[in-house]
Amino acid sequence: MDLQKLITKPKKSAKPQQAGDGLEVVGRSFSRVDGWEKIKGAAKYTDDLEFGPALLYAALVESPHAHARIKAIDTSSAEKVHGVVKVVTGRNFTQKFGLYMNDRYVFATDIVRFVGEQVAAVVATDPKIALRAAALVKVQYEELPAVMDAVKALEKDSPLVHPNLKDYTHVPWFFPKPGTNIAHWRKIRKGDLAKGFKDADLVLEDTYTVPRYAHCAIEPHSAIGLYDASGRLTMWTSSQSPFTQRHVFAETLKAFGLGHKDVRVISTYIGGGFGGKAGVTMEIIAAALAIAVPGRPVKLLWNRAQEFYNTYQRLGVTAKIKMGVTKAGKITALDFKLHWDAGAYVEYGANVVNAAGLSASGPYRVDNISVDSMCTYTNLPPCGAYRGFGYSEFLFGLESHITRMAVQLGLDPVEFRKKNAISEGDTLPYGAHMNPNGIRQAIEKVEKEIAWGVRQKSKDPTKAIGKALVCFWKSPAMPPNASSSAFLKFNEDGSINILVSGMEIGQGLLTVMAQIAGEVLALPVSKIRVETPDTDRNPYEWQTVGSHVTWGCGNAVKRAALEARERIFDLVQRVHCLDKSTLYLQDECVKCRTKPDFALPFRDFVINGIQAEDHTFKGGPIMGSGVFMPEFASAIGDPETGQGGHPNVHYTTGSAGIVLEVDRESGKMKILKVALAVDCGKAINPDLVKGQIVGGLMQGFATVLYEDMRYDGKGRLLNPNFSDYKIPTAMDMPGEVVPIIIEVPQPDGPFGARGVGEHTMIPCAPLIANAVADALGVRVKSMPVTKEKVALAVKAAAR
């Protein structure tokens, strides 16, 4: 098994306990609290849930056209099939929905806008019957001209995907251009661009392209809906966002008398999300179908092909970069134009465009900058959240460009990056200031790890070895009022249950929340239970996206634990007459600094109180609640310059380096070594951070080396399968992966922590492109950088 080849070297900085920080639970690599449950198969995923013989199954009728008018739908033959309970079309549900832009339909009503869009659904007693009947639904279409390219969509005579754009509601920080295909245009203007280019000794302009990508979570989307006789809608979903889903269900289906209290979303463990299970996609169909067949649960389970073409895809982008640099290696100007292909509906994807536009400088100080990040409608499947949220896409071009400019000026690309790297207090492209960060330490550690500057030679004469080092940053992209909250309650034996609605999506959230509470309450992780949410029981969480839950939800849990601790101290002070300020928690007991022999175990009082001298009892069940909202954030700035506001709460920064062996003839690439250093502020659980680093790198390398969504001229996805959409196997692991943890505390993070989930995949594409250039002198400017492209580029260069 090639997994053996994976050597993860423990780094000094990653050691569980740093001397002197006084932490007992935080900073140590406890095993995951959900580990045994998953290993033993006890963990339930949505498709595992049992609903008994009343369960109905749904199958969809999907559009074969990229853009067409629905002339007529004949459901009569399907309705006659024995076992069919109901056939539902857009006539039954005309509502629109959307997270940031209200542009998506439950079912296509008059117009279909991408191949695979849901036009109707059959609900039947058996999945085979549903599929057979769906094939009998006859839909008459009148084909319309379609647009498949984000740049062509801007041309004057381009077909309009949403002619009624002016009537759509959206968040106040979006700037759609009705009468065009521009759904949102994020502009950044800072400094004096013309002067910046004048001051430059070298100006380089080029275009980089990135195709669409799919998340490829192991578990496909699934949702079960039940609209019961009491008028409540319960949804079991495989989701990163139970509360956001509840809100979208309630808002979209309010015409049926549903309020938020009537909608309940239960989210089980999920088999991977990567952004694909954020917001609402296919789940709205299951909710609508449940309404259509009251009293019986309806299940909608995506097959692998649907997983590819009808959830969210990662946006494609054409990135035009013009950059000015002085001989000394200072970036003087950056003009960055990003044309995003966001697909037929951009209700979530437009915010990717926004986030990328705000941060397109990368982790560098650029005083004169202009960014045009344009969200364009096309007749391809809808795009939305994907791990990295636009940053991987713009960094491919930006980090490729930076290395090219440094090399052209005869400067060391690593020194160049050190010189321009952002510092605490620097002004960000939108005018706010940069948070404390360890980007320079990250560069230095990675530089050392890959022995930058030392040229390596392959033993095989047909192969060359190249190196590269790049930097990355990312901020959570979230509404300024995105909140987290937590409940915490003690049990008789001194154990606790924590209720949050942050989702365990494989990243280890449950374990991290347990460690945060355990640190405050002096409890071992083994005495803490945290489970996946049910919106009736668990308190609010906006979504598990943007690498923000360790920070946001962690802050809420910490506050809940502090509140519980405060109640404990209040009680002990009241009953034992010990001053609160002298009390502390240790080893599941309340202790007192001034009275060394005092130790009151939690189990003696956290439910039944403390018996006073008069035999009465004081106290009662100890609980805590915590809420966190980033009250300093604001999304409102000047639409023409992007200045004003404080849209991003903080950035996580880092650096990655690679040693890559490339076959000159076949183009085949082998990653001999990769090192990634990320400043996570504080690694609550270092092993989980390392897991994110290894996993993120693999996902990132997959997008640059193998993955590529291919469409034909009619907008049909040609590879909605793993035969031709390749994701890496254990055989494709790098030779050596070195995860490096940097800890420059985030002042407002729990124990100094900030997010780390997405960042680890962001640097991969330019790492490969730059290392190939270093090894063989050829530059690939379009992703993926496949062995075919490399081999043909080498061949062309030799001519």
Partner 1 sequence: MPITTEFEYVKPRDMDEALHVFSLYREKARALAGGTDLVVHLKENLARPEVVVDIKALQELAGFTLKGGILRLGALVTFSDLIDSPVIKAKFPLLWEASLTVASTGVRNRATVAGNICSAVPSADSAPVLAVYDAEVLARSIRGERRVPIADWFTGPKKTALQPDEIVTAVEMRLPAKKHAGCYMKLSRYEGEDLAQGGIAVLAFSDNTYRVAACALGPKPARCPRTEALLAGNKLGEKLLARARETILQEVSPISDIRSSKEYRLHMTQVMLGRALEKAVARLFGKGPKYGTENIA
Q: Which residues bind partner 1 (CB under 8 A)?
A: 2, 127-128, 131-132, 135, 303-304, 665-666, 668, 705-706, 710, 718-719, 723-724, 726, 728-732, 786-788, 791-792, 795
By beta-carbon proximity to partner 1, the closer residue of 305 and 623 is 305
Structure tokens at 708: 């590529």
The total of other beta-carbon atoms located within 10 Å of residue 295's CB is 10
Name the nearest CA neighbour of 657 among 789, 770, 780: 770
* 449 vs 707, beta carbon nearer partner 1: 707
Alpha carbons 285 and 59: distance in angstroms, whole number: 10
Please tell me the distance from the alpha carbon of residue 135 to that of residue 78, in angstroms, as a whole number: 8
> What's the CA gap between 90 and 108, in Å, rounded?
6
| 540 CB-side CA count, 13 A | 13
What is the Cα–Cα distance from 764 to 395, expressed in whole angstroms?
Answer: 9
Q: Is the peptide bond before 784 cis (omega within 30 degrees of 0)?
A: yes
| Residue 512: Cβ within 10 Å count | 29
The helix or strand, by DSSP H or E, that contains position 78, with its residue range, turns out to be helix 76-79
Q: Which is nearer to partner 1, 154 or 672 (CB)?
A: 672
Q: Provide, rounded to whole angstroms, the least separation between the CB of residue 668 and partner 1.
A: 7
Please report how close the Cβ of residue 589 comes to partner 1 at its closest, in angstroms: 53
User: Min. distance of Cβ 77 from partner 1 in angstroms?
Assistant: 15
The angle that helices 439-449 and 413-420 make with each other, rounded to 10 degrees, is 170
Contact partners, residue 516, CB within 8 Å, separation at least 6: 26, 554, 557, 558, 561, 684, 750, 751
Output the smallest distance, CB 788 to partner 1, in A: 4
Q: Which is nearer to partner 1, 131 or 627 (CB)?
A: 131
C-beta closer to partner 1: residue 554 or 784: 784
Segment 773-780 long-range contacts (CB within 8 Å, at least 24 positions apart): 773/403, 773/404, 773/466, 774/466, 774/467, 774/468, 775/464, 775/465, 775/466, 775/660, 775/661, 775/662, 776/464, 776/466, 776/662, 776/664, 779/400, 779/404
Shortest reach from residue 293's CB to partner 1, in Å: 20
Q: How many CB atoms lie within 10 A of CB 99?
A: 24
Phi and psi at residue 433, in whole multiples of 5°?
-115, 150
3-class state of residue 256 by DSSP: helix
Mapping DSSP to helix (H, G, I), strand (E, B) and coil, where does residue 471 land? strand
Taking the least distance from each CB to partner 1, the nearer of 598 and 706 is 706
How much of the chain is in helix, strand and coil states, percent to nearest 5? 30, 25, 45
Closer by beta carbon to partner 1, 627 or else 792: 792
**Measured distance CA(663)–CA(278) in Å, rounded:** 40
Q: Are 51 and 297 in contact (CB under 8 A)?
A: yes
Give min distance, CB of 315 to partner 1, in A: 21
Taking the least distance from each CB to partner 1, the nearer of 176 and 720 is: 720
Beta carbon of residue 707, minimum distance to partner 1 (angstroms, whole number)? 10
| Closer to partner 1 by Cβ: residue 191 or 695 | 695
CB 395 → partner 1: shortest distance, Å?
Answer: 23
| Residue burial 607-630, b: 16+ Cβ < 10 Å; e: rest | bebbeeeeeeeebeebebbbebbb
**At closest approach, how far in Å is the CB of 456 from partner 1?**
20
**Measured from the CB atom, is 92 or 666 closer to partner 1?**
666
Residue whose CB is less far from partner 1, 650 or 781: 781
Minimum separation from the CB atom of position 561 to partner 1 (A): 45
Residue 672 CB, shortest distance to partner 1, in Å, is 14
